């Protein structure tokens, strides 16, 4: 698992880091003038876990989050939980024949990536797989949008997505790509076993090599007069169809 220092901001993102990964939170900064009871909870929980808490002026927080609203709290975090690709096989094997993977082929908007992580965590996914290039990094915006999912869910960054898909197939994982022009419907798939659902990026969709390494391409039926869904919405639809079948 690779690690790096970074700042995370926002009530949900900081609360999740303190609750789920306190050993990697170096300090928490809280707006001294704020009156949000959630900030009091974060302060108390951080102090209980031995994390340094500093009260600062709101202006001191303004420059930390960049364009992300800090909501009166920030944390210096010493671990961006991006898992190494060699750990993926172990995650699949530990799922005991019911692995559910979300593979994102080039999602570059951090808000979309964060929303996809949130849906994947809610669906109990085994992991989310992203390419190391042509993808948004797991940054402060992703963490805030994911509402803590980035701390709970393995996010596996891989060097070569096509090779990773081949390796997953060798592990008994069925690979299904989402493509608007495909004829088979998502709802005709058996999603109860080891499955990877592959969605493309905002602009180009699935890349050619990614398509070629899928066991099948399917579409989400859309009777309305819209050609495509936002990638995070499509991810939620696919993941929760798997949840429905498995329950």
- Binding-site members for S-adenosyl-L-methionine are 200, 220, 229
For 58-110, give the DSSP string: HHHHHTTSTTS--TTEEEEES---EE-GGGHHHHHHHTTT--EEEEEES---H
Distance CA 103, CA 176 (A): 10
Beta bridge partners of 29: 54, 74
Q: What end-to-end distance do the CA atoms of the chain give, in Å? A: 31
Residues forming the annotated binding site?
200, 220, 229
Distance CA 165, CA 143 (A): 26
Residue among 57, 55, 45 nearest 17 (CA): 45
């Amino acid at each position: 698992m690779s690690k790096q220092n970074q700042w995370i901001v926002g009530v949900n993102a900081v609360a999740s880091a303190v609750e789920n990964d306190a050993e990697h939170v170096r300090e928490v900064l809280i707006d001294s003038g704020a009156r949000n009871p959630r900030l009091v909870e974060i302060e108390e929980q951080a102090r209980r876990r031995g994390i340094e808490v500093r009260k600062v002026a709101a202006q001191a927080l303004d420059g930390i989050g960049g364009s992300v609203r800090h909501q009166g709290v920030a944390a210096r975090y010493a671990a961006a939980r991006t898992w190494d690709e060699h750990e993926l096989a172990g995650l699949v094997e530990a799922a005991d024949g019911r692995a559910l993977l979300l593979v994102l082929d080039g999602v570059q908007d951090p808000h979309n990536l964060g929303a996809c992580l949130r849906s994947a965590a809610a669906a109990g996914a085994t992991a989310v797989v992203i390419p190391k290039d042509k993808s948004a990094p797991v940054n402060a915006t992703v963490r805030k949008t994911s509402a803590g999912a980035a701390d709970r869910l393995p996010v596996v960054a891989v060097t070569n997505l096509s090779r990773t898909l081949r390796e997953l197939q060798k592990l008994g994982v069925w690979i299904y790509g989402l493509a608007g022009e495909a004829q088979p419907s998502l709802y005709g798939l058996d999603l109860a076993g080891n499955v990877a659902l592959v969605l493309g990026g905002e602009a180009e969709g699935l890349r050619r090599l990614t398509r070629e390494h899928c066991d099948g391409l399917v579409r989400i039926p859309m009777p309305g007069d819209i050609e495509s869904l936002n990638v995070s919405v499509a991810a939620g639809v696919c993941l929760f169809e798997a949840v429905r079948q498995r329950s």
